[in-house]
Amino acid sequence: MRIAVVAPSNALQRETADRVTALAAARGDCTIAFHPQCFLRHGHFAGTDDDRLSALREVIADPDVDAVWFARGGYGSNRIAEAAVTDIPGAARAKLFMGYSDTGFLLAALHKAGLEVAHGPMPQDIVRQGGEEAVTRGLDWLVRRDPAALEPGVRQPAMAFNLTVLSMLLGTMIEPDFSGVELLVEEVSEHHYRIDRLMFHLTSNPNVRRAARLRMGRVSDVPGNDPDFGQDEAAIAAFWCARSGIELGAPAAIGHDCANRVVPFARRAS
pLDDT digits (tens, 9 = 90+) for 114-141: 999 999 999 999 999 999 999 999 999 9
CATH superfamily of 2-152: Murein tetrapeptidase LD-carboxypeptidase, N-terminal domain (3.40.50.10740)
Exposure letters 31-53 (e unless 16+ CB within 10 A, then b): ebbbbebbbbeeeebbbeeebbb
Specify the DSSP class assigned to residue 210: G
Cα separation, 109 vs 228, in Å, equals: 37
Average pLDDT over every residue of 220-234: 96
Q: What is the CATH number of domain 158-244?
A: 3.50.30.60
Taking only Cα atoms into account, the Rg of the chain, rounded to an integer number of angstroms, comes to 18
Domain segments of the chain: what residues? 2-152, 158-244
CA-nearest of 112, 122, 118, 183 to 154 is 183
Return mean pLDDT, the chain: 97
Q: 206 preceded by cis ω (within 30°)? A: no
Find residue 159's DSSP bridge partners: 183
pLDDT band at 267 (very low <50, low <70, confident <90, very high): confident
Average pLDDT over every residue of 164-190: 98
CA-nearest of 120, 116, 115, 124 to 141 is 120
Cβ pair 187, 233 in contact under 8 A: yes
Q: What is the pLDDT of residue 266?
A: 86
pTM: 0.97
